[in-house]
Every structure is written in structure tokens, then in C-alpha cells.
Amino acid sequence: MPMGSPSYPAGPYRFIDREYLIISYESDPEAIRAALPDPLQPDGSNRVLCEFIRMPDSSGFGSYTESGLVIPARFNDKPVNFTAQMYLDDHPPIAAGREIWGFPKKLGHPKLQVVHDTLTGTLDYAGVQVAVGTMGYKHQHL
């Protein structure tokens, strides 16, 4: 980390009051296999998770939103989650995510918001809307 102009502050890091919308969907087994690096193996479920996450209170990073794809997999016959893609709307958590934790973070325009009575997650990348997820918001008390 450059001493005079760091992209992000030194830790420790805390992420408080995160909000999630996670959509599980079935994908093509060949596409899943192609997205997993060796030695990871598909877990056989053919599932992929599309995540929209709002981070309103992150120490050193402030408020930001991210979206990504997570593939359930196996490593040495143990279940793991492989983060295939991540898109964030702020530079410091992108740099920290890549440099500290090795996540494949890139700049995009993810949003997670309530629109009337619907929780809505969207991801725009390179000027194109590439993902949308919705669900009813507070229809039932949980």
C-alpha cells in the first residue's frame, strides 16, 4: 500500500447492517464447469447465486453497494463457495477487495433499494443492465 496516498485505510474492517438480496437459480452444468478454476469441482446442484448487497456502514469505506455471482463448488471433496464475479460502485472497497482478499471486484453500478413495495436489485455494467432481481418487501412479518 503506498504510504502517501493509500486507496483504502488500514484495518481492522467492520461491515455493519448489511442488506442482502440473494437469488439462487439453476444454470447450465457446462457453463458452471467453465467458470470454475482447477482444482474446484462443481457441487452437482447446478446452482448459482446472484447477490445484491448494500453496505451502509463499512469502516474506512463508508457506504457502497456490490453485486456478484457465487458458485457452490467442492474443493478436496469439501463444500466451498467460489466468487466468480463482483461489481461495486466505489473505488476504495474495490482496491481493498482485490489487494487484501483477492476478490474479482470491478467497477459497476449495482443498486439494492425498495421501490414502493418491492425489494429491487439491479446491476448495470458498461452502460447495459445485466441483472435484475425483485421480491415483495414486508408482505409478511418474519
123, 131 Cβ separation under 8 angstroms: yes
Asked about 138 being catalytic, the answer comes back as no
Residue 34 φ/ψ region, left for φ over 0, alpha for ψ in the -120 to 50 degree band, beta for the rest: alpha
Q: Where are the alpha helices (DSSP H) in 5-136?
A: 29-35, 91-99
Strands 47-58 and 62-75: antiparallel
Residue found under cell 476504495? 92
> Which of the following is catalytic: 78, 105, 111, 138?
105
Residue found under cell 457441487? 43
Residue found under cell 425483485? 134
Residue 44 φ/ψ region, left for φ over 0, alpha for ψ in the -120 to 50 degree band, beta for the rest: left
Annotated active-site positions, please?
105
